[in-house]
Amino acid sequence: MEQPDSGGQIKCRYCRKIWPPEHFRTARGKPSTHCRACLDAKREETRLRRERMGPAGVRAANLWDKYRITVEQYDALRAAQQYRCGICGTHEDDITVILTGRPRLDGTPTARAVRLVVDHCHNSRRVRGLLCNNCNTMIGLSSEDPAILRAGAAYLEASMLQ
């Protein structure tokens, strides 16, 4: 967000119009570099593009944008792991998927969640494999630090001996 001028007004980095500071908040109240009108226009543009792409196109775009893998590479990983989580070994058919996330603005149901999620290194962006959501969350909450995970395992093992 650009600095306010002497009158407290801010210039939008997208449309270049001058607006009061309260126009530079997202729907959730976070500061933005774009005015509310530009944010709304961008959201609508994205919605229309995703609608044209369809669910399969959106899935392919998400896999590529986030992890630089294709749907075929994802499916090959699933097969290589025998459709099981890379940590706990739970088969994807046995993973309960709880639909989460915000509801869609148009009221349509959210897409069916995948059962195995892509695990990747946040530093190198390298894909490590596929995990169930619980194991992926465990890796993330440990800050991807093997020492924390080993300490957690030692703690659990010691408590079982008591």
Which CATH number do you get for residue 160?
3.40.1800.10
- The mean pLDDT of the chain is 86
Provide the domain count of the chain.
2
Q: Is residue 12 packed enough to be buried (19+ CB in 10 Å), middle (13-18) or exposed (0-12)?
A: buried
Domain that holds residue 156: 70-162
Rounded to whole angstroms, how far apart are CA atoms 75 and 91?
14
Same domain, 104 and 116: yes
pLDDT at residue 23 greater than cutoff 90: no
Residue at a domain's end among 45, 67, 89:
67
Same domain for 53 and 88? no
Q: Are residues 90 and 61 in the same domain?
A: no
Domain boundary among 26, 49, 67: 67
Domain boundary among 67, 97, 116: 67
User: Looking at residues 66-91, what average pLDDT do you find?
Assistant: 95
Q: How far is CA 33 from the centre of its chain?
A: 21
Regarding whether 56 and 98 lie in a shared domain, the answer is no
Are residues 58 and 101 part of one domain?
Answer: no
Q: Is the pLDDT of residue 74 over 60?
A: yes
d(CA 135, CA 125): 18
Nearest to 79, CA basis, from 62, 67, 91: 91
Q: Residue 52: is its pLDDT beyond 70?
A: yes
Q: Are 136 and 119 in contact (CB under 8 A)?
A: yes
User: Does residue 66 carry a pLDDT above 80?
Assistant: yes
Render pLDDT for 86-119 as a digit per residue (tens, 0 to 9): 999 999 988 887 665 666 667 766 666 678 999 9
